[in-house]
């Protein structure tokens, strides 16, 4: 597992390199019993507890100065249930391993995000999502969940069993307990045809509603300082399988999307004035292409350029206005933004603190390459997103607090009441949770 957590000098560091923590001690439990014992021991010692995944969150949501619980020995498939079309996995299983195991069984998740390095529990806990017209986040595909709570007991939940826990714990922010197993809905593996196509920014915005309505999964990247975007439409297909050609795969994905992009980022970081020119060249370097493959090979790809990211969900009907404001802000500012802005969608879901809870949503994500100053850009973008009642991704940079979040999440108090019940002494507390949920 590509855990970014560094063991050096007792520090833990996230993937983006913008969060560092110094836990009092680390444990790597190999069973639910060992995990429960570690939770009780931490409470006896007066230490907080935090389970981490692979550290792919850009916020300090996984940081702790108490006991850090590592996921490496809580991995693997517990059961595949073909009658109910579900798979139950240990919480520390990387998404990559889940996807590959499912494919071997002729099964697949319905939707996923851009990468598959994260653990299933880490990805679910922060509301990790891809893009979809009907299909939603990783957490929304969960059918049942098992967690160890602050008193060391094991609690299971589903729509029928402890439904009030199930409603919240699928995106639990690590605040309700330590997840030990997740049961996902699966379906027979299918093929997706991806169509990637450059398109002018104004046209994407003008046609956004049709592009969304006509495709199962629509997303696009806008290149700041340009009027160019690259669109991606993924739709189910009868086949045949036509993977990205070996050369095209290398050229487009490794050279253009990662290698050349990385070089462009280095030049832009060294000489910011060149960023708009580089953006124009990069956006033109992409060409239209189609390919057909199994879902995880179409949804996900490696990300070799390290970056820092902020992402907000706004009501879907506000997406074009929000993007116009973002573009106007970049154009009139002296900012030099070398990283594309990603735009995705999700249907409303029923999870208490899901960014799409009860509301059809569009996601707008801004990025800056690791090592470049990002605060001025993110602050200006955040002002625009919050003016549209935006909900920040729990795992991506934002400055919102409990007071703001209570205003944009109608079920906020339902979550905090459950937290009061399951973790009255705040064993799973950290600075981030204190800020976003209150003390």
> Which residues have C-beta within 8 Å of that of residue 302, sequence separation ≥ 6?
115, 253, 258
CB nearer to ligand FAD: give 253 or 280.
Answer: 253
Residue closer to ligand FAD (CB basis): 276 or 390: 390
Helix (H) or strand (E) holding 331: helix 319-332
Residue 131 binds ligand FAD (CB under 6 A) = no
Q: Give yes or no for residue 52 binding ligand FAD (CB under 6 A).
A: yes
- In whole angstroms, how far apart are CA 207 and each of 35, 319, 343? 51, 12, 14
Q: Could you say which of 21, 39, 49, 51 contacts ligand FAD (CB under 6 A)?
A: 51
**91 binds ligand FAD, rule: CB under 6 A:** yes
Q: Of residues 48, 50, 217, 232, which one binds ligand FAD by CB under 6 A? A: 50
Among positions 38, 139, 179, 335, the unique one binding ligand FAD when judged by CB under 6 A: 179
140 is a contact residue toward ligand FAD (CB under 6 A): no
Of residues 279-338, which lie at the interface with ligand FAD (CB under 6 A)? 303
CB 178 within 8 A of CB 119: no
Q: If DSSP codes are grouped into helix, strand and coil, which group holds residue 357? A: strand
- Report the alpha-carbon distance of residue 294 to residue 186 in Å, rounded: 14
Tokens coding 7: 């063991």
Could you say whether residue 276 binds ligand FAD (CB under 6 A)? no
State which residue, 125 or 276, has the beta carbon closest to ligand FAD.
Answer: 125
Distance CA 22, CA 152 (A): 24
Instruction: Say whether residue 15 binds ligand FAD (CB under 6 A).
Output: yes
429 is written with which tokens?
């507390």
* 125 is a contact residue toward ligand FAD (CB under 6 A): yes
Is 85 in a helix, a strand, or coil? coil
Measured N-to-C along each axis, helices 319-332 and 375-387 cross at an angle, to the nearest 10 degrees, of 150
Report the alpha-carbon distance of residue 355 to residue 363 in Å, rounded. Answer: 9
Stretch touching ligand FAD by CB under 6 A, among 54-62, 226-234, 325-333, 416-424: 54-62
388 or 393: CB nearest ligand FAD? 393
Q: Which of 56, 70, 225, 359 binds ligand FAD (CB under 6 A)?
A: 56
- The number of residues that bind ligand FAD (CB under 6 A) is 32
Of 200, 142, 204, the closest CA to residue 345 belongs to 204
Examine residue 123 and tell whether it contacts ligand FAD (CB under 6 A): yes
119 binds ligand FAD (CB under 6 A): yes
Q: Contacting ligand FAD (CB under 6 A), which of 29, 66, 174, 340?
A: 174
Is the CB of residue 126 less than 8 Å from the CB of residue 57?
Answer: yes
| 8 A C-beta contact, residue 281 and residue 268 | no
The CA distance from 353 to 310, in Å, is 18
Dihedral sign, Cα of residue 371, residue 115, residue 147, residue 144: positive
Residue of 75, 118, 228, 338 that binds ligand FAD (CB under 6 A): 118
Q: State which residue, 50 or 400, has the beta carbon closest to ligand FAD.
A: 50
Contact indicator for 173, 128 with CB cutoff of 8 Å: no
19, 38, 57, 184: which one binds ligand FAD (CB under 6 A): 57
Contact call for residue 395 and ligand FAD (CB under 6 A): yes
Q: Per rule CB under 6 A, is residue 391 in the interface with ligand FAD?
A: no
Judged by the rule CB under 6 A, the positions of this chain that interact with ligand FAD are: 15, 50-57, 61-62, 91, 113-115, 118-119, 121-123, 125-126, 128-130, 173-174, 178-179, 303, 393, 395
């Amino acid at each position: 597992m590509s855990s970014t957590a560094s063991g050096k000098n007792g520090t833990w560091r996230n993937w983006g390199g913008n969060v560092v923590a110094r836990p009092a001690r680390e444990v790597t439990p190999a069973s639910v019993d060992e995990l429960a014992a570690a939770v009780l021991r931490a409470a006896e010692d007066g230490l907080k507890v935090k389970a981490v995944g692979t550290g792919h969150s850009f916020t300090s949501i996984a940081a702790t100065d108490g006991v850090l619980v590592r996921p490496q020995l809580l991995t693997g498939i517990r059961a595949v249930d073909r009658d109910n079309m579900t798979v139950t996995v240990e919480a520390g299983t990387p998404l990559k391993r889940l996807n590959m195991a499912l494919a071997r069984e002729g099964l697949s998740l319905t939707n996923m995000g851009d990468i598959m390095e994260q653990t299933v529990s880490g990805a679910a806990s922060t509301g990790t999502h891809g893009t979809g017209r009907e299909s939603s986040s990783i957490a929304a595909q969960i059918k049942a969940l098992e967690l160890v709570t602050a008193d060391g007991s094991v609690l299971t939940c589903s729509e029928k069993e402890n439904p009030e826990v199930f409603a919240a714990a699928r995106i639990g922010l690590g605040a309700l307990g330590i997840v030990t197993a997740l049961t996902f809905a699966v379906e027979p593996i299918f093929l997706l045809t991806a169509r990637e196509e450059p398109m002018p920014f104004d046209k994407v915005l003008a046609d956004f509603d049709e592009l969304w309505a006509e495709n199962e999964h629509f997303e696009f990247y806008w290149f700041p300082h340009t009027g160019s975007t690259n669109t991606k439409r993924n739709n189910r297909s009868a086949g045949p399988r036509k993977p990205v050609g070996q050369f095209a795969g290398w050229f487009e994905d490794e050279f253009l999307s990662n290698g050349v992009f990385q070089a462009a980022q280095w030049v832009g970081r060294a000489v910011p004035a060149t960023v708009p020119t580089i953006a124009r060249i990069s956006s033109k370097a992409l060409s239209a292409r189609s390919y057909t493959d199994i879902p995880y090979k179409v949804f996900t790809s490696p990300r070799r350029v390290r970056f820092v990211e902020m992402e907000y969900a706004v009501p879907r009907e506000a997406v074009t206005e929000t993007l116009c404001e973002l573009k106007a802000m970049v154009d009139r500012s002296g900012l030099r933004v070398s990283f594309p802005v990603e735009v995705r969608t999700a249907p409303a879901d029923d999870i208490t603190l899901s960014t799409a809870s009860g509301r059809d949503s569009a996601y707008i994500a801004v990025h800056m390459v690791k090592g470049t100053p990002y605060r001025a850009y993110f602050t200006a973008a955040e002002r625009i997103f919050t003016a549209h009642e935006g909900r920040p991704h729990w795992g991506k940079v934002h400055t919102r607090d409990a007071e703001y979040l209570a205003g944009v999440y109608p079920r906020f108090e339902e979550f905090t009441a459950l937290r009061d019940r399951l973790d009255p002494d705040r064993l799973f507390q950290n600075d981030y949770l204190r800020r976003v949920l209150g003390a």
